[in-house]
Structure 1
Amino acid sequence: MPSLWKPETWAQRLLELEAHTTDVKEAPLRRDVRSLGMLLGEVLREQAGDAIYEKVEELRQSAIRRREAQATGHLKEADDRMQLAVLTTNELPVEESYQLSRAFAFYFELINLAETNHRKRRRLALQTAHTEGVQRGSLRGTLRAMKQAGISSQSALDWLQRILIIPVFTAHPTEIARRSVLFKRRRMGEFLEELDRIPVSDEELQRLQDLLVAEITALWQTDEVRSRRPSVSDEIKMGLDYYDVSIFATLPKLYEEIVSAFQSEYDLAIDVADLPVLLSFGSWIGGDRDGNPFVTTEVTRNALAAARARLLDYYEKRVQLVIDLLTTSAQQQPVSAALRRRLEGYFASMYGGANGRGAGSLSVRFEFELYRRFMVCVHARLLRTAGQTSRDRDSLEAALEGLGPYCSAQDLLDDLALVRDSLAENNSLRLARTLIDPLVLLVRTFGLHLHTLDVRQHARLHDKTLKEASAWCESAAGTVPSPMSPETYEVIETFRTIAEVKRGCSPEAVRQYVISGAATVEDVMAVVWLARLGGVEVAATGNDPGLMPVPLFESIEDLQNAPAVCRELWTRPDYRRLLDSWGSTQEVMLGYSDSNKDGGMLTSTWEIFRAHRALHEVARECGVKLRLFHGRGGTVGRGGGPTHRAIYAQPVGAFEGQIRITEQGEVLNWKYSDVVLAERNLELMIAASLDALARPNALDPNGHQSGVLLPEWEAALDELSADAFTFYRTQIIDDAEVFEYFEVATPVAELEHAKIGSRPARRSGRKSFADLRAIPWVFGWTQSRLMLPGWFGVGYAISRYAKRPGGMALLQAMMAEFPLFIDLIRNVEMAMAKADLGIASLYAALLPDPGLRERVFSKLKAEFERTHEAVLAVTGQSELLQMNQVLARSIRLRNPYVDPMSLIQVNLLRRKRAGEDTEAINRAIAGTINGISAGLRNTG
């Protein structure tokens, strides 16, 4: 096949890459999608046969024509095409269904790669553009707005000093792709990126295309559905991979971009070394016990050890690079006396001392290159820190083993500071900036532990453990106590493990203990008691930051009670002493997933906002510095949506600059699979935090969306939330028929066969709404194309409020000016745009009881249509996503490939419900789950 990427002229290709008009700048994306689709077609013919390829095309074209008929109002034609497609898929054998699902899923793999590459392409185009424009959400754009609002450069730096963003990686079962598939994705992404180089020879274009065909072939021959559920160890490795793939390399580039932005917008020259640490990282993978019996104390130890080993391995490579490049000779430039003294001390510590063979060998090898000698010693200490020793006791490395390991990150920073200061003092500042500063930045960010590992457990287990542990009383003194339950034993062993970690060199590796289901002060104090029983020092002492209990308020009721609970907690004299040891700081976590499941989209959004604001008010009353931990998921129904928009939508005056945010499932791959993407994502969070702190819009007389909440807007949101909550609870939670519908008319029961994550979908074996986790709740509605958690109740509340005099006009004003309301409506709009009632009705037909089916589906359909009408009225649009054509085009591109998989899935579910519960059926259903997830870019 001739090269699909060869341009007519390279000048035209350059014009596309630099373009800012929609048609021209989108041309490379269209070419990538078209070309990758043609390559996949070639692979399908070769690997699966012409019959599969032709059936794929038949179903795809049928879906396209159905969508076109819908869009032009020809509803009968659309319905006829749907029925024809249903008949076609119903006749398919199971194996053919599986093959077709895989084929459509592969289209999405390639479309996702093309879109990801285009994001990188457009970021580079904007960075190199010779215009006054800046990318939306960029730090340059934020600084420009601040300067225009009259904020000085020093004030801007002061605001920046307050920022600390902590992404927390979690292993919730929302990343369906296997680790091997993620690796292949990255390889293909690299080939696509190379195809954007200018110019590329014909031979190289052909080579890259051949490599893409080979990778697509290899991907086709790879099991995309796991044969076994991943272990927690698998998830740990997956989470750590993103550090090697992007994060380590991203941070120096990001901080350099911050320096450049201040230079560009404020004409202010600053060094990376002078910037505060703006980013830190956390993880739940290997520490989150809530409902996951596979997270044991051994797993937690392994998670901490694996993180430390991954980091130290990277440090060792970076230090080796410095040794290779820092060849400055003392004959050419002097070295500071402080560095010489430290080097002499290292020589004295070696086996044989300063006059021994090892020191002599090092002096001969680097006779005048004292920096290299010193960095060799640093390298040796890092190896000892990682537990590595030399096998050859006569070698130089064996002598260097006399040097002790680093027992704290500060020890390593002190050594690096000596090198930097010496270079800076002796006409080598450029070398300090290029070789030492990036390493210093990494050590300041990651320490010797990489990320903090949160431990999480449910409050009810803490309560049970305390009751068992305190069951002794005088009347029972003469009896033999019953054995501890396994749950109690595990809770106590968890705290003993934490104590063990804190006795090591990185006590900061575990510093937060998250309490799921927290509802009272006693839930927090239970952790303090249990920690001390397990030998953990809760208060900060010396290098140990202590162990802070972090209450997670999840239900609507708990969110409403959170401020009162925290006020009671923070005014207790005994807890106040703990707070003082933590620098008067307290972290509180807000749960998005469970609050949405409990109260619906609108009420969840508003109650989290209200709790956020009230918690900060209470914190100020009590003299506490509050940091909120936002438990956001990947989908809209679990707090998803653009992160930068959500950060800016925080209450005015209720943000101190520090924030922790969960990064879950497929979101990790979307944000951190590449250096450019990771840099953009992290920059967005920093810029949004700076914007939310400084609020330049509020200072600009002509500024919009300042975040100020007018009293009439607050009253409106109170009323909207109350109506939405009552309606959601009555129509969804309190209606037993809805849960029965959900269990049968969605593939939630088949989630087990997809083998996505290590954690069970339910907190216990019971089938009830209360026992079902929020993730499968969202997952089931997403797969069945209803997206219910993202919109239900919103239309009812808006339609009621719009009946008030001036009601709709007020809501439209909020839509124009109030960031929280804008974020809410845009997220609802996105969820609805991905939904499809026609296909959802096919899932409804799986219910054997026609009366129940009609009652539930008609109710859901009526609210969907009402919400659709309400969103268009509030936004002033004639169709969904009219103001976001990029997303609208993406959804239109994907639908013809998602729709056939949905039809195949419905047919397979029908056959399974009828008794055909075979391994082949389950594998095929898992294949459709995989494909629909990739197509919608959401799993749960």
Structure 2
Amino acid sequence: MPSLWKPENWAERLAELEARTGDLKEVPLRRDVRSLGMLLGEVLREQAGDALFEKVEALRQAAIRRREAQAGGSLSEADQLLQKAVLDVKAMPVETAYALSRAFAFYFELINLAETNHRKRRRLSLQLSGDKAAQRGSIRGTLRAMRKAGIGADEAMEWLRKIFIVPVFTAHPTEIARRSVLTKRRRIGEFLEKLDRIPTPEEQLEALEAELIAEITALWQTDEVRSSRPQVGDEIKMGLDYYEVSIFETLPLLYREVAAALRSEYGLAVNLAEMPLLLGFGSWIGGDRDGNPFVTPEVTREAIADARARLLEFYDRQTQQIIDLLTTSAQQLPVSAELKARLDSYLQQLQSAGDPVFGHHFEFEQYRRFMVCVHARLLATAGYEAEGAVTLEAALSALPAYASAHEFEQDLRLVRESLAVNKGLRLAETLIDPLILQVRTFGLHLHTLDVRQHARVHSKTLEEASAWCAGDAATVPGDLNAASHDVIETMRTIAEVKAGPSPETIRQYVISGATSVEDVLAVLWLARLGGVNVAGNPETGDPGLMPVPLFESIEDLRNAPEVCRTLWTMPAYKKLLESWGNTQEVMLGYSDSNKDGGMLTSTWEIFRAHRALHEVARECGVTLRLFHGRGGTVGRGGGPTHRSIYAQPVNAFEGGIRITEQGEVLNFKYSDVVLAERNLELMIAASLDALARPNARLANGHQTGVLLPDWEAAFDEMSETAYGFYKASILEDPEVLEYFELGTPVSELEHAKLGSRPSRRSGRMSFENLRAIPWVFGWTQSRQLIPAWFGVGHAFEAYMQKPGGLERLREMMAEFPLFIDLVRNVEMAMAKADLGIAALYASLVEDAGLRERVFGKVKAEFERTLAAILAVTGQKELLQTNQVLARSIKVRNPYVDPMSLIQVELLRRKRAGEDTPEVNRAIAGTINGISAGLRNTG
């Protein structure tokens, strides 16, 4: 049987790749989806039998017919089809329901991989055509827009030098997949990419297809749901995997793209080693102890040690490669005097230690000898101990470890400079420059690790430790409670790290639930109690420990500017600011502000706080860097990266920004070199766009970011309307939380084993102790997605009833980036929602009055929001102007529906008393499938 990927002729395949518009460019995606579906069908028949395959097909066809009837306006027929499917599911034994949910989940696993491969394919297509500048969010496109707006080369470089973006990896429990499953996904993705090669002999296509179906079989035979909750150590390893999978390799490619764009648009020649440093990386994994008792000081040490070990293993491989390839002989070309002097100093150190050195090894190859010394110092830095004295590595073991990344970089720069002046510039650019760039980015620590704890815990610790100071005893007093003891030991751990070779490993201490100046001062007091020097010290390379207040609630966002003004004008704190380069970081919480105030008010209050904080910072002579605590879903601040960064307030961005990358988002953005490069390029391009604002310099510029007074007044009014409605309808209605617990699978988070952290801080569920993640999770799984849209329709409708109201909103939709971002995110979430399916979840609430009151309220607001969004956008249906996303959601929804039916039925059985391991495992399987289908968990 010929391969499913064998073309009629290879010219057709090339035409698909080169297609700029139209259906032809989507043909490869449809082929991948169709072929993967056929292979999955084959695996299902082989592994689970024809009977299961036929049940899958029956449910799938019923869901498609229901969707078609719904789209055609035949609502009664759609309802009949839904009810019939419900009855079919009710008759299934648990084992069948579990197998069915797995089958649909696996279909989405494969579809997601096909769509990911198509994203990579389209990026390649743009590169082949030379039309990459036209791609939204490309560096080249942004620089071209700047040049056309009259921004010269010097000014462009000045803007570029201001940019410093830090994606911060977090372990929030939104990544459902196990590490082993992620590995298999990557392998399947690699096979798909190989099947795209033009041309490929038929035998190779068939071999690749055989490997692909074998991997799908292996995936089917793997437990997709964890049997036990992951440990923090597991999360640390998963986070570190992305460096080896993509980030290490991506970095030089990305900077070369920036350099190429500068050359093509401005004629500037910049080598990698001298490029402005645009990126750093951070992590919360192993440092975020807010509500997670499993993040201990020992775990923090483990996270730092593991990151350092991964990085030094990478440097080891890179230096080994340079030693193998940099074979320039002194008999052909000289080396610089500086390099020779450094090499001689190394040899003298070795000879004084009484060790034999090189002998005849690399007799004339001075670069190799030098890099062997560099490698030996890296091994010492990693703690490698040579056994015996028979190898060259053992002979060089007397060389000291690197005391800092700067020392390592200086050695590499000596090699680069010597090559550059001795006809070896090409060698420097290909072998040395990428490693210099990586050392500048990763240092000897890989990424910064933030420590985070809640302000309430600090206050309690201060009360208990007020009579004790660090010099009174060698150990923490035994009468402190566990949380207070952990705070002091954590501070001591930070002090220990800062006494080591990479004091920059921990730079920020994030304060959750910050409300006042006292919350910041408490951290400073406790840090000093634990022996931490909070002030920066340029002589030791220690940046100090900056407390970062995280403002999360609507009230706290509103108070944040005045809190910071008070803090920044305190004489003692001003001295600390000076030691930090007069820079202060402040974090804004998207998830909790949404839970606290709803989508519209959260969006607007974060914008206002952002703008006001920058105004206060300028008044106080402080450079403000904002840390955006965004989640993966729209209800937690998610959405397209470029659009959200560009939507920042004008003149309220200095170029430095940190953004959380949470859970499943990591796999979506960093599971592949091409995807990682595109995601990081989007961040850089958006930041450059938001700084330079080329649109504002054009006579007919659109979407300049300028906020007109009428638009601000409109946003103010709608936010206040939405906030009042949200509080009255959600926060102040006790029936909503009861409905939420009964009518969604929120309680099943425990059985899904998603992450190490508990889903609530303590006690019974309440709005105060319920985390934003399970709040969004429950509404997403039940297909209601309330956090992403509730209150928007009410506010829009009220404003549109004013004279000229609709026209003003349409003006904002055409010109104001923040409003555009809000509307498009709401629109996307509503397209994923399904109130017909949501009604089935509502049926789990046995109290008919409660069910009808809450779900009736949800349904009315959904319909109101739908009408308002269509009116403001001028569309006849959701996503009318984004057909790629619309098609993706329309194709996915009929396949998600069966899993929702199965989940509801299993929840019903569990609540009726069938609380067995088999039922819980099957429910967790449906969570996995719905997450894969909607492309997010919560």
> What TM-score bracket applies, with the shorter chain setting the length?
over 0.9
Deviation at 1:212, TM superposition (A): 0.7
Q: 1:460 aligns with which of 456, 462, 465?
A: 456
Q: 2:377 aligns with which of 381, 392, 395?
A: 381
Contact 2:132 2:140 in 1 (8 A): no
Q: Call closer, same or farther: CA 1:295–1:481 in 2, change over 3 Å.
A: closer
Cα deviation code 1:847-871 (max 9, x no counterpart): 1100000000000000000000000
Q: Call closer, same or farther: CA 1:481–1:326 in 2, change over 3 Å.
A: closer
Q: Percent identity?
A: 74
SS in 1 for 2:134: coil
SS in 2 for 1:350: helix
- Which residue of 1 is the match for residue 665 of structure 2? 667
CA distance in 2, matches of 1:667, 1:373: 44
Contact 2:785 2:833 in 1 (8 A): yes
Deviation at 1:472, TM superposition (A): 7.3
Contact 2:735 2:854 in 1 (8 A): yes
- Which residue of 1 is the match for residue 264 of structure 2? 264
- Which residue of 1 is the match for residue 473 of structure 2? none
Superposition pairs of residues 192-207 of structure 1, within 5 angstroms? 192-207=192-207
CA distance in 2, matches of 1:132, 1:439: 27
- Which residue of 2 is the match for residue 914 of structure 1? 912
Per mean C-alpha deviation after superposition, the further-off stretch among 911-920 and 105-114 is: 911-920
Q: 2:726 aligns with which of 712, 725, 728?
A: 728
Deviation at 1:767, TM superposition (A): 1.8
CA distance in 1, matches of 2:883, 2:83: 30
SS in 2 for 1:457: strand
Q: Call closer, same or farther: CA 1:534–1:880 in 2, change over 3 Å.
A: same
Contact 1:259 1:269 in 2 (8 A): yes
2:402 equivalent to 1:406:
yes
CA distance in 1, matches of 2:552, 2:411: 45
Q: 2:825 aligns with which of 827, 830, 836?
A: 827
- Which residue of 2 is the match for residue 322 of structure 1? 322
Amino acid at match of 1:688: A
CA distance in 2, matches of 1:766, 1:519: 24
Amino acid at match of 2:377: R
CA distance in 1, matches of 2:418, 2:477: 65
Cα deviation code 1:274-313 (max 9, x no counterpart): 2111000000000000000000000000000000000000
Contact 2:132 2:141 in 1 (8 A): no
Q: Call closer, same or farther: CA 1:100–1:149 in 2, change over 3 Å.
A: same
Q: Call closer, same or farther: CA 1:106–1:632 in 2, change over 3 Å.
A: same
- Which residue of 2 is the match for residue 476 of structure 1? none
Cα deviation code 1:316-345 (max 9, x no counterpart): 100000000000011111111111111011
Q: 1:935 aligns with which of 928, 933, 936?
A: 933
2:45 equivalent to 1:45:
yes
TM-score, normalised relative to structure 1: 0.98
Cα deviation code 1:763-793 (max 9, x no counterpart): 0132212111000000000000000000000
Amino acid at match of 2:2: P
Deviation at 1:363, TM superposition (A): 4.4
- Which residue of 2 is the match for residue 605 of structure 1? 603
- Which residue of 2 is the match for residue 505 of structure 1? 501
Amino acid at match of 2:413: A
- Which residue of 2 is the match for residue 523 of structure 1? 519
Contact 1:727 1:793 in 2 (8 A): yes
Deviation at 1:703, TM superposition (A): 1.3
Deviation at 1:130, TM superposition (A): 4.3
CA distance in 2, matches of 1:133, 1:364: 53
Q: 1:535 aligns with which of 525, 531, 534?
A: 531
CA distance in 2, matches of 1:219, 1:188: 10
CA distance in 2, matches of 1:321, 1:156: 36
- Which residue of 1 is the match for residue 816 of structure 2? 818
CA distance in 2, matches of 1:773, 1:316: 42
CA distance in 2, matches of 1:357, 1:143: 55
Superposition pairs of residues 302-321 of structure 1, within 5 angstroms? 302-321=302-321
Contact 1:619 1:625 in 2 (8 A): yes
Superposition pairs of residues 134-153 of structure 1, within 5 angstroms? 134-153=134-153
SS in 2 for 1:364: coil
Contact 2:133 2:139 in 1 (8 A): no
Contact 1:229 1:757 in 2 (8 A): yes
CA distance in 1, matches of 2:479, 2:772: 34
- Which residue of 1 is the match for residue 620 of structure 2? 622
Contact 1:159 1:690 in 2 (8 A): yes
Q: Call closer, same or farther: CA 1:131–1:381 in 2, change over 3 Å.
A: closer
Q: Please, what is the CA RMSD of the aligned residues?
A: 1.2
Deviation at 1:350, TM superposition (A): 1.5
- Which residue of 2 is the match for residue 587 of structure 1? 585
CA distance in 1, matches of 2:508, 2:277: 19
Cα deviation code 1:35-60 (max 9, x no counterpart): 00000000000000001000000000
Mark the runs of 5 or more structure 2 residues left unpaired by the alignment.
470-475
- Which residue of 1 is the match for residue 102 of structure 2? 102
CA distance in 2, matches of 1:399, 1:343: 15
SS in 2 for 1:613: helix
- Which residue of 2 is the match for residue 284 of structure 1? 284
Amino acid at match of 1:851: G
TM-score, normalised relative to structure 2: 0.98
Structure 1 segments, 4+ long, off by >4 Å, are 130-133
- Which residue of 2 is the match for residue 436 of structure 1? 432
Q: 1:868 aligns with which of 859, 866, 869?
A: 866
Contact 1:515 1:523 in 2 (8 A): yes
Deviation at 1:897, TM superposition (A): 1.0
Contact 1:602 1:794 in 2 (8 A): yes
Deviation at 1:400, TM superposition (A): 0.5
- Which residue of 2 is the match for residue 757 of structure 1? 755
Superposition pairs of residues 119-130 of structure 1, within 5 angstroms? 119-130=119-130
Contact 1:352 1:399 in 2 (8 A): no
Deviation at 1:893, TM superposition (A): 1.1
CA distance in 2, matches of 1:899, 1:125: 34
- Which residue of 1 is the match for residue 739 of structure 2? 741
Mark the runs of 5 or more structure 1 residues left unpaired by the alignment.
474-479
Deviation at 1:471, TM superposition (A): 4.9
- Which residue of 2 is the match for residue 60 of structure 1? 60
Cα deviation code 1:675-704 (max 9, x no counterpart): 000000000000000000000000011110
Superposition pairs of residues 845-856 of structure 1, within 5 angstroms? 845-856=843-854
CA distance in 2, matches of 1:552, 1:265: 40
Amino acid at match of 2:73: G
CA distance in 1, matches of 2:377, 2:833: 57
2:191 equivalent to 1:191:
yes
SS in 1 for 2:649: coil
Contact 2:253 2:677 in 1 (8 A): yes
Superposition pairs of residues 687-726 of structure 1, within 5 angstroms? 687-726=685-724
CA distance in 2, matches of 1:295, 1:812: 48
2:559 equivalent to 1:561:
yes
Deviation at 1:470, TM superposition (A): 1.3
Contact 1:351 1:399 in 2 (8 A): no
CA distance in 1, matches of 2:748, 2:185: 26
CA distance in 2, matches of 1:496, 1:132: 50
CA distance in 1, matches of 2:700, 2:19: 30
Deviation at 1:270, TM superposition (A): 2.0
CA distance in 1, matches of 2:137, 2:392: 52
Superposition pairs of residues 324-343 of structure 1, within 5 angstroms? 324-343=324-343
Contact 2:168 2:282 in 1 (8 A): yes
SS in 1 for 2:876: coil
